[in-house]
């Protein structure tokens, strides 16, 4: 009898633990079919590096001038930063590649791409999953080895057509964005709790890189919450912010955090449900990612009409601190905002932007 009771109790605890894990388990990121472009095209469908035919690139549909290239030095003195494998595609003027994938209606997704510009000019990558579409600027180089970017969408049916398009008209028709990897991550829609009004407060839902990347994932500017690659948050800025993970960086809590890499031009925000005239407490953690970012930092936090400036002296050792302040809600919607007061570059790599880390944002009413 005792043995039966112990077995039943153990089974109940195991089921409870499994249920808890199922709620909090992160769905792993996966490549799209031939998402790293390492499945080579038939040589008969290539004219030098140019793909010939709508289905010349395995698992993808192409339109316009698309090249299949290898990373490294190129004829004419160019260099293609292919960081995630050996091969990539370059999209010429008005060229595109597309693939239809299966998704779950109502779920949030993020496309994670290895992408960079190839010419010294303003290049844009247009990403679309109908009915949503957006342009990702590639002019600013955040890393000399090629960047990883993320773009979010919400599925409206059980299939989605992902299209990557170069909308530019450049002097050189062969110039255009270089794409060397495409993956997708699925998120559960984040929700506030009674203990915390902030959705996705610790950035545990985010575009974790599955590539061999140690630079983090850029979240493009001007992303509204309905299609943000960072569930629950908006990127309200002219420049990108960076999602970092605990495998490659020092993260104060959990697996993910945000690095504000472009000073006042890197801004994250969220709109909370509040009660007018009620007082709330906001607590958050700032630090450095232990990625060579040194110097005097400052994070500015805003909520309603209240502001807190938090100084932080970084010596690049992964230190962090937690601060809090109170604010009074004015309306039934309150915007909280974070940005970095200063601009920083890595001490051993002045071509790479960096900045303070923000993590574990908690807002709750004051009793």
Q: Concatenated DSSP letters for 56-78?
A: -STT-EEESSEEEEESEE-TTS-
| 323 and 238 belong to one structural domain | yes
State whether 86 and 176 are in the same domain. Answer: yes
Is residue 107 located within the same domain as residue 253?
no
Of the two residues 363 and 223, the one the predictor is more confident about is 363
Which pLDDT does position 151 carry in this prediction? 94
> Please, which pLDDT band fits residue 77 given cuts at 50, 70 and 90?
low
Please indicate, yes or no, whether residues 132 and 227 belong to a single structural domain of this protein. Answer: no
Please identify, among 137, 168, 187, the residue that sits at the C-terminal boundary of a domain: 187
Q: For residues 296 and 342, is the Cβ–Cβ distance under 8 A? A: yes
Average pLDDT over all residues of the chain: 86
> CB of 110 within 8 A of CB of 152?
yes
**Do residue 182 and residue 317 come from a single domain?**
no
Residue 196 placed within a domain? no
Please indicate, yes or no, whether residues 50 and 181 belong to a single structural domain of this protein: yes
List the 61-63 sheet strands across, edge first.
61-63, 96-102, 159-165, 124-129, 132-137
- Judged by average pLDDT, the poorest of 27-36, 56-65, 69-78, 322-331 is 69-78
CATH number of the domain at 344, please.
2.60.120.260
Asked if residue 231 and residue 168 are part of one domain, the reply reads: no
Q: Which domain does 173 fall in, by range? A: 30-187
Number of domains in the chain: 2
Report the alpha-carbon distance of residue 70 to residue 46 in Å, rounded.
14
Tokens for 362, please give them. 């908690």
pLDDT at 13: 34
Instruction: Answer yes or no: is 270 within a domain.
Output: yes
For range 199-210, the mean pLDDT: 91
Q: 113: which 2 tokens?
A: 């791409």
What's the Rg (C-alpha) of the chain?
Answer: 22
Regarding whether 255 and 166 lie in a shared domain, the answer is no
Q: From residue 185, how far is each of 204, 205, 242, 305 by CA, in Å? A: 13, 10, 16, 36
pLDDT digits (tens, 9 = 90+) for 324-353: 999 999 999 999 999 999 999 888 777 788
226/179 same-domain check: no
pLDDT greater than 90 at residue 150: yes
Contact 116, 177 (CB under 8 A): yes
Q: Which contiguous run of DSSP H or E holds residue 100?
A: strand 96-102
Is residue 351 domain-resident? yes
In a domain, residue 199? The reply is no
Region at 64 (left for phi over 0; alpha for psi -120 to 50; beta for the rest): left
Determine, yes or no, domain membership for 347. Answer: yes
Comparing C-alpha atoms, which of 328, 316, 320, 242 is closest to residue 282?
Answer: 328
Can you read off the two tokens belonging to residue 160?
């989605």
Residue 159 falls inside a structural domain:
yes
Residue-level pLDDT at 26:
57
The 10 Å Cβ neighbour count of residue 337 is 17
241 within domain boundaries = yes
* pTM for this predicted structure: 0.87
Does 164 share its domain with 229? no
Residue 19 lies in a domain: no
């Amino acid at each position: 009898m005792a043995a039966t009771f112990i077995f039943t109790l153990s089974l109940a605890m195991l089921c409870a633990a499994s249920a808890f894990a199922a709620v909090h388990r992160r769905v792993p990121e996966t490549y799209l079919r031939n998402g790293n472009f390492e499945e080579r095209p038939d040589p008969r469908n290539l004219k030098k590096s140019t793909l010939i035919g709508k289905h010349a690139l395995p698992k993808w549909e192409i339109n316009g001038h698309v090249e299949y290239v290898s990373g490294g030095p190129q004829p004419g003195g160019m260099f293609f930063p292919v960081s995630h494998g050996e091969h990539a595609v370059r999209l010429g003027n008005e060229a595109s590649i597309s693939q239809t994938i299966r998704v779950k209606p109502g779920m949030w997704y993020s496309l994670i791409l290895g992408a960079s510009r190839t010419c010294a000019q303003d290049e844009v990558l247009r990403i679309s999953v109908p009915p949503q579409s957006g342009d990702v600027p590639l002019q600013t180089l955040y890393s000399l080895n090629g960047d990883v970017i993320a773009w979010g969408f919400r599925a409206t049916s059980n299939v989605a057509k992902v299209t990557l398009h170069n909308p530019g008209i450049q002097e050189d028709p062969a110039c255009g964005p270089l794409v060397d990897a495409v993956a997708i991550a699925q998120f559960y829609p984040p929700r506030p709790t009674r203990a915390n009004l902030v959705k996705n407060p610790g950035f545990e839902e985010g575009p974790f890189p599955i590539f061999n990347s140690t630079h983090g994932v850029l979240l493009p500017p001007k992303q509204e919450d309905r299609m943000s690659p960072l569930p629950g948050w908006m990127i309200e800025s002219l420049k990108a912010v960076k999602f970092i993970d605990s495998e490659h960086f020092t993260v104060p809590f959990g697996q993910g955090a945000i690095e504000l890499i472009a000073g006042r031009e890197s801004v994250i925000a969220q709109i909370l449900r509040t009660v007018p005239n009620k007082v709330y407490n906001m607590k958050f953690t700032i630090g450095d990612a232990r990625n060579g970012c040194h110097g005097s930092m400052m994070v500015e936090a805003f909520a309603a009409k209240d502001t807190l400036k938090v100084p932080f002296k970084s010596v690049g050792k992964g230190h962090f601190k937690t601060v809090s302040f109170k604010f009074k809600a004015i309306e039934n919607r309150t915007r909280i905002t974070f940005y970095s007061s200063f601009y920083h570059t890595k001490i051993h790599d002045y071509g790479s932007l960096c900045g303070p880390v923000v993590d574990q944002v908690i807002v709750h009413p004051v009793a």
